[in-house]
Amino acid sequence: MHEQARVAIFCGKGGVGKTTLCLAHGLRHASAGRRVVVITSHPLPELAVTLSLAGLATEYPAAAQNLFVVHLDAKELLAEVVRANFPMAILANAVLRSSLYNNLIDVAPGLKEFYFLARLQQLAERKGPSTGAGAHEFDMLLWDAPATGHFLGTLRAAKSFETYLSGPLAVAGAELARFFSNADSVALVPVTTLEEMAVTETVEMCKALSDEFRLMPSAVLLNMVSPAIGADHAELARLRGALTLGKLNGPAMRFAAERALLEVTRARELGALLAAPSVAVQRVRHWSSDIDLLAQAGESLAGLPAGI
Amino acid sequence: MKITVYLGTGGVGKTSLAAATAMARARGGAKSLVLTTDPARRLRTALGIAGNAAEQQVPLNGAGGGQLWGALLDVRATLDDAVRMYGKPEVVPRVLNHPIYATIASSLIGMPELMAVERIDQLIKRGFTDIVVDTAPSRHALEFLDKPILFADLAESGWVRLAGRTYRFAAASPIGLFGKTTFEVYSRVESILGTRLVTQILDFYSLFVSIAEGYSSRARQTVKLLKDPKVTEFRIVTTPQKAVADTGYFLGELESRGYPVSAVCVNRVWTPDAGSERPPGLEGELLDWYGAVRQTQQGQLRRLAAGFGARIGRIVPVPELEVDVGGLDSLEQIASSAALV
């Protein structure tokens, strides 16, 4: 059996629902008894995460035992390195407070990204079956990645350390670059809505990931789609005909049909450009709490290939 | 003079609303300009902007005595310009060709925001009186406000001056110049980051410090303008689903920094009422789903009004279009259907 990838990366354009689907996926598997770690790296989603998970312990007690959301702050990771390098806390704190240190790490190209990736890899090495002999701490690791530009920048940080610096960081950089260009260690799960801008960005992101890191998407998540995605061909043809002939009643019906048909076209275009299975997540109608929204969205993720 | 800044998380439609606002202002007779960091291709074409080239006038059909201009914020090119403007002639080529410089423009978080402030300053000098800005599509939107100040502090902080002015001597006899504790700290930091990297950064600063000084005094003035409610208004952009959380977050951050917030624009609101008739088949299923989502959105808008109505001047719902936003016609449609002026 093919060993599953060590990190599943939920990536894509800003605002398409990466955090929501990443948490939904985590919640779904945590409820089924797997031990799941979700990694976030950016400040605002951290807020979203806190809000989304309110009520987890009372509504999904089983999942609450198994779902861990970890915010990795690169600056804090670097501070750990400093503390490890200094025998005395007082000296370490002097370094951490000094403007010399703070300014250096702010402008050092890719340094924070580098330490972030290094910790992610470290966590991935600790992943494994959480039951049986030699049980691991968790058996599912999901990275709720930042929006496309920053995400690609983060991955490139490992490469640039390899290419233009010498010393111990360059060696570690080479190792990181290998890890994050290996389909056995990472599974890409691009998330997109079916709007033109999001689809274009997804295609370009996948091209960059393939060209620079030889990574192909394992599955593409189509988020917030209408019920027309997945409808059969004849029904869609009927709807298109009715819209074209002006036979749809009312502005709401015309609006819904026009957008839905546009989405169907986009989904086909995307399918032709990316050689990966797609999973559609319908826009949720009503939800009683954020955690309920995650649970509903999670149901649609049953179609994801195993190993993510 | 009027500066309008659109702020929000990624993917909520800041660029489209900024462009539609500038268009509405032009229609009202102003000479308005939209400064954007990352327009989608179609919007870029519609506004006629390419690269960091000078501002482009966008031809408007029909009535309205004003002008619409578009400009793209190219971070690297704006930084290059700033280096040329503030740097001594002999330093400029060494900064532009420095290995650290190449990465500072592309990978330093907050650099787009920093350069937006620089560009606003240039635009004011060039005589534009109505500037609409959309902030970079990053999760770090607030660095737009923090970075110019941080940067100014950086240029004025002791160690950068020291490193900048005396780095070459310091490299020869570091203890004498840094003092013993500082040197201890310095050498530890060096052992963590690697000598070559630290040397490169210090060398870069030694060249860059005079440029940063020139830049920062101007940046402070621009930030002062951005805090003046008679000149500037900040508008938070969000979507119905994120409205309450985003508004709470951005409003708090903006108010604590002393920036004037004038409106929350809730983008992509589904407007037409679904009615009560249900056609059969896929049509019915679609309409059902549409009606439910719309009803949820209405609830989200009500919660926004209840939570923040008293603290914010205006809550502006912006209808979602049935087509993709891109061309001038779709901007017209947004401008005419929402009170963005």
What was the pLDDT predicted at B173?
Answer: 44
Mean pLDDT of B282-306: 97
Q: Does residue A87 belong to the interface with chain B, where contact is any CB pair within 8 Å?
A: no
What was the pLDDT predicted at B175?
Answer: 43
Out of A42, A103, A250, closest to residue B160 by CB: A103
Q: Is the pLDDT of residue B302 over 90?
A: yes
Which of B106, B82, B85, B104 is closest to B204 using CA atoms?
Answer: B104
CB contacts, 8 Å: A109 with chain B? 100, 103-104, 107-108
Q: Does residue B42 belong to the interface with chain A, where contact is any CB pair within 8 Å?
A: yes
Q: Which residues contact A232 (CB under 8 A, 6 or more apart)?
A: none
Per-residue CA distances from B128 to B19, B63, B145, B152 (Å) = 15, 21, 21, 25
Mean pLDDT of B157-173: 48
Residue scoring higher pLDDT (B161 or A109): A109
The pTM is what?
Answer: 0.87
What was the pLDDT predicted at A203?
Answer: 97
pLDDT tier for residue B52 given thresholds of 50, 70 and 90: low
CB contacts, 8 Å: B99 with chain A? 164
What was the pLDDT predicted at B169?
Answer: 43
Q: Does residue A248 belong to the interface with chain B, where contact is any CB pair within 8 Å?
A: yes
Determine what percent of chain B is predicted with pLDDT higher than 70: 77
pLDDT digits 0-9 by tens, B176-225: 445 555 656 666 666 666 666 667 777 777 777 777 777 777 777 888 88
Q: In the predicted model, what is the mean pLDDT of chain B?
A: 81
Q: Does residue B107 belong to the interface with chain A, where contact is any CB pair within 8 Å?
A: yes
pLDDT digits 0-9 by tens, B65-118: 789 999 988 888 888 988 898 888 998 999 898 877 876 666 565 677 778 888
pLDDT digits 0-9 by tens, A50-73: 667 888 888 899 899 999 988 888
Residues of A (192-221) whose Cβ lies below 8 Å from B: 195-198, 200
CB contact under 8 A, A85 and B192: yes
What was the pLDDT predicted at B116?
Answer: 82
CB contact under 8 A, B293 and A107: no
Question: Closest-CA residue in chain B for A150?
Answer: B138
Q: Does residue A254 belong to the interface with chain B, where contact is any CB pair within 8 Å?
A: yes
Could you tell me the two tokens for A153? 């920048």
CB A192 within 8 A of CB A161: no
CB contacts, 8 Å: B138 with chain A? 14, 147, 149-150
CB contact under 8 A, A253 and B270: no
CB contact under 8 A, A166 and B274: no
Residues of B (243-282) whose Cβ lies below 8 Å from A: 245, 249, 270, 272-275, 277, 279, 281-282
